Structure 1
Amino acid sequence: MTVDLTTFETVCQRMRQAALYTSSADALEWDERTGMPAAAGEYRADQVAELRSAAHALKTGAAYGEALATLKDQLDDEDPHGDISTTIRELHRDWCRDSRLPVDLVARLSVATVRGQQAWDAARKNDRFGDFRGALEQIITLKRDVGQRLAEGTSSSAYEALMDEYEPGASVAALTPVFADLKQRLTDLITRITDAPRQPRVELLSREYPIDAQRRFSAQIAHAVGFDFDRGRLDETSHPFCTTLGPQDCRILTRYEANWFPGGFFGTLHEAGHGMYEQGLRDDWFGLPPGSYVSLGIHESQSRLWENQVGRSLPFWKWLYPSAKSAFPDALDEVSLDELYFAVNHVRPSMIRVEADEATYNLHILIRFELEQALISGDLSVDELPMAWNEQYQRCLGIQPSNDAEGVLQDVHWSAGLFGYFPTYTLGNLAAAQLYAAAVTDMPDLEHDFSRGEFERLLHWLCERVHRHGRCYSGAELIKNATGDELSADHLMDYLESKLTPLFGL
């Protein structure tokens, strides 16, 4: 049977219209996170809810679902990874998911999360979890309702149904043993490094780095690695993120601290990695599966690869060292290349996830993975959350936050309703190491490029292996196609061991 192209174009046009509403809501939320007057928050919540409700209505119409089901039955002779098959298959999957959620629930959740992010921002600035408690409890109640509706009639838990939005097909049963193995191997490595004979001069990273100089330096580096400023921009916010507002409009955001150089620099490099993935998607399929990212784990693999495998490599710093000394002469005047390289690769348990080193970072994620499962299941109450957070940090990292701002209030995710999102960070770290190893296998002299400030070959490789495919393959299929292996922790541990063992004299 041949696909009815007239019907196909009709459903595509409907989703392009939904993308207009969604991207407009995203633009309003970008503005809310960057410069909206505080008093405008209430009306902004209503604006976003109206747009997201309109998009949801388009995505869940009965006649639209029937058209997709008919098209799906016509796919027998189509390439399963082709653009037409992918569009029909993935839109039908989205419809089956979205149609389980009534529009009033979507609207209430949109309002709650916009207000929740505003409450979180104020609570974090004032270091008072109590100011956020009520908003968080409302969001959890709504997300639990969403998860239960999505899980109904399946073998998934409410939490797994929420996680499926970010990492399709992922399950707690599959992730738990992988994460447990990774946790043990990382803990062993961190223990060895803590007792190592050599330690870096981390204090040189907390000297005075003028914020204006950081802004200029970060923008230069984002441009150098390949972020296209003709199709994007870099701004500042309280919690770094990346959002795409149209096929030629990608926004990345970071934050700077005058006495902590890695925060702004690696935050920018991280978000530029996200941005380059978005800019590598096919514009002509914007709003449709072939022009959309496949999963947040794959998205995170792109940001972490540029932040870590590239941005913390010795060849990268051989190229960047003279420019860094020129940009920050007072802070780096007597600092050698080897000292700076060692410092940016320090390993030390710390409170803030986005500022964590490569070795300890995933422990931050595993803490959140456990806590948010308990919040959604009801095994952990909102009132118990701060204490549970502190206990987990003591158990996993041997440290405890001194206040809520550096503890339970440090992440924006739960205020935005992003439950099930956190495990994708660790999946992204695993995929980043595996993809990078494959790229080096294909281009053995790749790191020589970095020492000359050339990154085009790596970006092109990633575009060909990952970006341009959109959702034509699953995340697992993309990794297997690009690397020849199933996703595992081995590549990440090999990468960390090979770099950190000689640095710390192990």
Structure 2
Amino acid sequence: MSTKLQQLRERLAEVEDLTQAAELASWDQHTQMPPRGAAQRAEMLATLERLAHERFVSAEVGRLLDAAAAELDAAGRDSPDDDDVALVFHARRVWEKARKVPTDLAGEIARASSLGQEVWVTARAGNDFAAFIPALTHNLELKRRYVECFDGFDCAYDVLLDDYEPQMTTAEVTRLFSELRDELVPLIATLSAREVDTSILHGHFPVEAQRRLVREVISLQGWNPEGWRMDDSAHPFATSFGATDVRITDRWEEGYFASSLFGAMHETGHGLYEAQVAPELMRTPLGHGVSLGVHESQSRLWENMVGRGRPFAEVLAPKVADCFGGALTGVSPDALFRAVNRISPSLIRVEADEATYGLHIIIRFELEQALVNGTLAVADLPEAWNAKYKEYLGIDVPSDADGVLQDVHWSGGLIGYFSTYALGNLIAGQLWGAVNRDIPDLADSLAAGELSRLREWLGTHVHRHGAKYLTPGLLERVVGTGIEVGPFVAYLKAKLSAVYGIALD
């Protein structure tokens, strides 16, 4: 006879299938769909979201959760390390939140997300923020209606943040970001006036040569055509439909090869997280990364700590020389290492150096709160954006395409998301310290292009658990503390001391 736990798993698997079908349709929209398909795709995504939402928030799922918990209790199974115990706990937490949201609202949010993305593509290409205002205004209105579904949170932004980093609060992020900003601002002031030769990063780099370089590098990370694919999109992203079907995208600039290279390493870091989740967690709510903060720790670790690290420059430099030749023939690992780690305030978040990147995120975190709280009107967003870039980074924003329109997130209603990027940096700093403690000769492996030891360590300590442990519990297991600023800052100062040849303390 089927147990209630088995019945619960079957119901949750159906919901996961519907959710992944929607994600597949969304992936297609970003990569393959012709522009005229946008309206119909929005309706498709709204329907899939309504079906998944109705299936998940039903009273039957609540009864199955209660019955499955009772079965586990009767069997004396109460350890948080037990997969079934974790499944019931996680599913109940998500169910309790999702059931407060009307199905029609969930569907409308999905529809607006799909339509908004297409509006953003056109507005960004045309440097036309006015064309984007209606879509962003609608997304904000829907998010405010979503927030109104909940009580028990200290502020409206907490509701949205909890969707991406469960149990994290706006107050805690503000505290961490204040500490991070106090460390970054003087560091940037010290280094940004110092010269580093970055000329090797700029020139003419044919897209086909860039594709070759990217494929060679991400294959070292673990990209495999048997279970992965890579496509082009306006904004790089990663998604997966289970551990055996991982998709990443990239974009290409013929004048700057670092964008595609490190963007691909970043997205492959996301993909590895999904690809190494334990098979027994598939088709359950545990079968994916636990939070976007932890997810970003993986992408930032691979992009920056590996990709922009001095050991891996021994691998990258000859590959860059081989793929592009010309002025890059014989480029040295030291020259490449210094060039890709120059500290200089810049306009574009995804191309920002490791020190200034945190300020890009803090700007967005502050603007999002003002938008959600209604203290900043959508029409005034470009002016506020430009003012903060001048205040925090000391630079003027020449256009909305390079300013407020540069990121895709708000077009899809992903409000509350941005802070997880900087949280990911902090978590990556903690994990980097732990893996170097456990593998003392890791630098030698990276310099030899042998990345499997790092990949396997992350698979064992982070990836295989999926969403089994919330971020605080996962970090407690691996590093012994919650999120901290200190390890990331220590790592950053050690690296930049080597780049600039000065002592930083």
TM-score (norm 1): 0.96
1 CA distance for matches of 2:108 and 2:271? 30
Give 3-state SS (helix, strand or coil) of 1:290's partner. coil
1:117 matched to 2:117: yes
Per the alignment, residue 55 of structure 1 pairs with 52
1:107 matched to 2:103: no
Per the alignment, residue 159 of structure 1 pairs with 157
Task: For 1:9, give the aligned amino acid.
Answer: Q
5+ residue gaps in structure 2? none
From 22, 38, 43, the counterpart of 2:40: 43
Q: CA deviation at 1:195?
A: 3.3
2 CA distance for matches of 1:157 and 1:462? 34
Task: For 1:299, give the aligned amino acid.
Answer: H
1:92 matched to 2:92: yes
Task: For 1:206, give the aligned amino acid.
Answer: H
Per the alignment, residue 180 of structure 1 pairs with 178
Contact conserved, 1:210 with 1:258, CA < 8 A, in 2? Answer: yes
1 CA distance for matches of 2:32 and 2:466? 32
Contact conserved, 1:235 with 1:253, CA < 8 A, in 2? Answer: yes
2 CA distance for matches of 1:338 and 1:471? 39
Task: For 2:97, give the aligned amino acid.
Answer: R
Per the alignment, residue 138 of structure 1 pairs with 138
From 396, 404, 409, the counterpart of 1:408: 404
Per the alignment, residue 504 of structure 1 pairs with 500
Q: CA deviation at 1:245?
A: 2.3
Contact conserved, 2:318 with 2:331, CA < 8 A, in 1? Answer: no
2 CA distance for matches of 1:56 and 1:289? 13
Contact conserved, 2:242 with 2:275, CA < 8 A, in 1? Answer: no
Q: Percent identity?
A: 40
Q: 1:339-350 to 2 correspondence within 5 Å?
A: 339-350=335-346
The count of aligned residue pairs is 499
Q: CA deviation at 1:80?
A: 1.9
- Cα deviations by residue, 1:274-308 (Å, 9 ceiling, x for unpaired): 00000001233223133221111111111111101
Q: CA deviation at 1:73?
A: 4.8
- Cα deviations by residue, 1:367-412 (Å, 9 ceiling, x for unpaired): 0000001111111110111100001100000012100100000001
CA gap of 1:130–1:364, structure 2 versus 1, over 3 A, is same
Give 3-state SS (helix, strand or coil) of 2:241's partner. strand
Q: CA deviation at 1:5?
A: 6.6
Q: CA deviation at 1:132?
A: 0.7
Per the alignment, residue 190 of structure 1 pairs with 188
Q: CA deviation at 1:21?
A: 1.2
Give 3-state SS (helix, strand or coil) of 1:384's partner. helix
Q: CA deviation at 1:476?
A: 1.4
1 CA distance for matches of 2:327 and 2:132? 38
From 217, 228, 235, the counterpart of 1:239: 235
Q: CA deviation at 1:451?
A: 1.1
Q: 1:272-421 to 2 correspondence within 5 Å?
A: 272-333=268-329, 335-421=331-417
1 CA distance for matches of 2:264 and 2:193? 32
- Cα deviations by residue, 1:50-95 (Å, 9 ceiling, x for unpaired): 1111111111001211221343355443212211101111111111
Q: CA deviation at 1:319?
A: 2.0
Contact conserved, 1:248 with 1:283, CA < 8 A, in 2? Answer: no
Contact conserved, 2:157 with 2:369, CA < 8 A, in 1? Answer: yes
5+ residue gaps in structure 1? none
- RMSD of Structure 2 on Structure 1 (CA): 1.4
2 CA distance for matches of 1:405 and 1:120? 10
From 453, 461, 468, the counterpart of 1:472: 468
Give 3-state SS (helix, strand or coil) of 2:379's partner. coil
2 CA distance for matches of 1:334 and 1:419? 45
Give 3-state SS (helix, strand or coil) of 2:458's partner. helix
Contact conserved, 1:208 with 1:331, CA < 8 A, in 2? Answer: no
CA gap of 1:88–1:330, structure 2 versus 1, over 3 A, is same
Contact conserved, 2:297 with 2:428, CA < 8 A, in 1? Answer: yes
2 CA distance for matches of 1:32 and 1:390? 30
1:28 matched to 2:9: no
2 CA distance for matches of 1:502 and 1:453? 21
- Cα deviations by residue, 1:338-366 (Å, 9 ceiling, x for unpaired): 21111011111001000101111011000
Task: For 2:342, give the aligned amino acid.
Answer: H
TM-score (norm 2): 0.96
Q: CA deviation at 1:48?
A: 0.9
Contact conserved, 1:82 with 1:472, CA < 8 A, in 2? Answer: no
Contact conserved, 1:318 with 1:451, CA < 8 A, in 2? Answer: yes
Q: CA deviation at 1:186?
A: 0.4
2 CA distance for matches of 1:284 and 1:442? 27
Give 3-state SS (helix, strand or coil) of 2:389's partner. helix
Give 3-state SS (helix, strand or coil) of 1:165's partner. helix
